[in-house]
């Protein structure tokens, strides 16, 4: 009986020692807490297109229920919240525009081919000729 108690006590001490050593290790590798807020900007590369009221399949209202205005600096994009500001830079000429996401798109079949964002006609015209249709862009979530 005494031998069994010694083994249990030894196992318990080993277990507790292991727990404390792991907690000490994880305490050392945690990043230091800073009073300064840290911002990480999400940058993506892909293709952009444009759409307007005359485009086929465009509804009168956007996905967030605004009336669609192709003269506003807005965009359709998946996986970002509505009202997110996005800086779109044309990689061919360096021109950029800041748009607000108020709709969902492009269609999923185009996203699989690398299209990340549909710009309103007005936003697209600020960085490229609408005759281009598709442009290579860098997107920066602001």
Domain positions in the chain are 1-31, 43-141
- CA–CA distance, 66 with 113 (Å, rounded to integer): 28
Please tell me whether residue 4 adopts helix, strand or coil conformation.
helix
pTM: 0.66
pLDDT above 90 for 112? no
Higher pLDDT, 76 or 41: 76
- CA–CA distance, 78 with 63 (Å, rounded to integer): 11
CATH no., domain 43-141: 2.40.40.10
Question: Can you read off the two tokens belonging to residue 52?
Answer: 């307007």
pLDDT value of position 94: 94
Q: 134 to each of 83, 100, 107, 117, 131, how far by Cα in Å? A: 23, 19, 14, 10, 9
- Total residues belonging to the chain: 142
102 phi/psi in degrees, rounded to 5: -135, 10
pLDDT value of position 89: 95
Q: Flag the least confident range among 4-18, 20-34, 81-95, 112-126.
A: 20-34
- CA–CA distance, 96 with 91 (Å, rounded to integer): 9
Mean pLDDT of 4-20: 68
pLDDT value of position 70: 81
Closest by CA position to 138, among listed 47, 63, 38: 47
What is the residue-averaged pLDDT of the chain?
A: 79
pLDDT value of position 17: 62
pLDDT above 90 for 11? no
- CA–CA distance, 102 with 64 (Å, rounded to integer): 6
pLDDT value of position 97: 96
pLDDT value of position 113: 84
- Quick one: pLDDT band at residue 55, thresholds 50, 70, 90? low
pLDDT value of position 33: 44
pLDDT above 90 for 27? no
Question: Can you read off the two tokens belonging to residue 68?
Answer: 């669609």
């Amino acid at each position: 009986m005494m031998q069994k108690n010694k083994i249990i006590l030894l196992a318990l001490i080993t277990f507790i020692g292991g727990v404390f050593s792991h907690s000490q290790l994880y305490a050392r590798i945690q990043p230091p807490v800073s009073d300064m807020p840290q911002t990480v900007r999400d940058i993506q590369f892909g293709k952009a297109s444009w759409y307007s009221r005359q485009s086929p399949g465009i509804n009168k209202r956007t996905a967030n229920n605004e009336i669609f205005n192709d003269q506003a600096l807005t965009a359709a994009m998946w996986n970002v919240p509505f009202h997110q500001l996005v800086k779109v830079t044309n990689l061919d000429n360096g021109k950029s525009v800041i748009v607000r996401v108020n709709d969902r798109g492009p269609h999923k079949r185009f996203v699989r081919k690398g299209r990340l964002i549909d710009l309103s006609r007005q936003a697209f015209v600020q960085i490229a000729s609408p005759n281009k249709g598709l442009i290579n862009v860098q997107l920066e979530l602001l």
